[in-house]
Amino acid sequence: MVDLHTHTTNSDGSLTPRELVKLAKEQGFSAIAVTDHDTVDGICEARKAGEEYGIETIPGIELSCNYERELHMIGLYINPNYLPLTEKLKELAKNREKRNIKTLEILNSLGMPITVEEVKKIATGNIWGRAHFAKLLCDKGYVASVKEGFQKYLGHGRVAHVNEDRIEPEEAISLIRQAGGVPILAHMHYLKLSPEDLRNLLIRFQKSGLAGAEVIYTEYTPEQTKLYTELVEELGLLKSGGSDFHGAMKPQIPLTPNHLRIPYSFLKEIKNHVRTF
């Protein structure tokens, strides 16, 4: 079994890259991808841990894109040292900082006094964002859980969600390709599209170089998994899947091979794709 969508302390997870890889090995995974949000900072540590523990470790990233709903693009097998990618990530980090300040101001105006210092204390890496805001709101008793923090305030369309200065989906696809990676559309149910509209969006992205999409994901219903698998197979895209593991930041999502059965055959096809483009 494999997991092709996970996070570490370098973005909004609670385990270091080394701890994540060690846990994956202990849980019996044959491969794991580290796909932190808008950063490649944890890849080197993860790959070294993979060599030490004897588990295949895939360098990845998850890019947050500008779209009318929550849209993220996974990049697998990227070169973390590709200069145009690292330069773009610096730009995105500055944009994220601006969004975070606006989010902070909104939450304060809603009667929840929190500070930048408090949020950054929760964020152990260089990236801080909505998950850390949600955790702080939970710690302070304003919400009962991180999930509620997103549902009430920080999720797409909620009062404290600020959506600007993100990378366009087609640009994300192109950048992942340029960095030697495989672009994968993440958690398609977030888009809340009809089957026909989703099909059209996949075709649109496919023309720009999209290689695959997640057909197995923690929150998918059996019906969604079936639908997404059929769409992806119809369009000749690669199948991918992942837990979206964040550790203690999202305790409802475990890292266990029995939680989601993502076969190694998915990864094998992805690796074949890497060799041919």
pLDDT, tens only, 61-98: 999 999 988 899 999 999 999 999 999 999 998 888 88
User: What number is the average pLDDT over the span 218-226?
Assistant: 96
The percent of residues in the chain predicted with pLDDT above 70, rounded, is: 99
Q: By mean pLDDT, which of 6-10, 112-116, 220-224 is the weakest? A: 112-116
pLDDT at 37 over 70: yes
pLDDT at 275 over 80: no
Distance from C-alpha of 107 to C-alpha of 129, rounded to nearest angstrom: 13
User: What number is the average pLDDT over the span 40-64?
Assistant: 97
Query: Domain 2-81+166-276: which topology?
Result: TIM Barrel (3.20.20)
Distance from C-alpha of 118 to C-alpha of 133, rounded to nearest angstrom: 9
Token pair 């369309």 in the structure block, residue: 157
Q: By mean pLDDT, which of 27-36, 54-63, 95-104 is the weakest? A: 95-104
* Contact yes or no for 103/133 (Cβ under 8 A): yes
Structure tokens at 199: 């099909």
Residue-level pLDDT at 121: 84
Cα 167 to the center of its chain, rounded Å: 14
Distance from C-alpha of 205 to C-alpha of 200, rounded to nearest angstrom: 9
What CATH number does domain 89-154 carry, 1.10.1330, 1.10.150, 3.30.70, 3.40.1710? Answer: 1.10.150
Length in residues, the chain: 277
Residue-level pLDDT at 164: 67
Measured over the CA atoms of residue 252, residue 169, residue 267 and residue 47, the dihedral's sign is negative
Q: By mean pLDDT, which of 52-66, 154-168, 238-252 is the weakest? A: 154-168
User: For the chain, where do the domains classified as CATH 3.20.20.140 start and end?
Assistant: 2-81+166-276
List alpha helices for the chain, DSSP H.
Answer: 17-26, 43-53, 83-109, 116-122, 130-139, 146-149, 169-178, 195-207, 222-235, 264-276
Mean pLDDT of the chain: 93
Exposure of 223 by Cβ count < 10 A (0-12 exposed, 13-18 middle, 19+ buried)?
A: exposed
In which band, very low, low, confident or very high, does the pLDDT at 19 lie, cut at 50, 70 and 90? very high
Structure tokens at 252: 């409802």
Distance from C-alpha of 104 to C-alpha of 121, rounded to nearest angstrom: 15
CA distances to 29, 38, 72, 101 from 65, in Å: 29, 10, 6, 19
Higher pLDDT, 135 or 89: 89
Exposure of 87 by Cβ count < 10 A (0-12 exposed, 13-18 middle, 19+ buried)?
A: exposed
Higher pLDDT, 233 or 155: 233
Distance from C-alpha of 250 to C-alpha of 100, rounded to nearest angstrom: 20
- Decide: helix, strand or coil at residue 192: coil
The listed range with the strongest mean pLDDT (111-120, 221-230, 243-252) is: 221-230
Structure tokens at 149: 């923090």
Residue-level pLDDT at 88: 96
Higher pLDDT, 96 or 241: 241
Higher pLDDT, 18 or 11: 18
Question: For residue range 201-217, what is the model confidence (pLDDT) as tens digits?
Answer: 999 999 999 999 999 99
pLDDT at 258 over 90: no
Residue-level pLDDT at 123: 80
Q: By mean pLDDT, which of 8-22, 37-51, 147-161 is the weakest? A: 147-161
Residue-level pLDDT at 248: 86
pLDDT at 187 over 80: yes
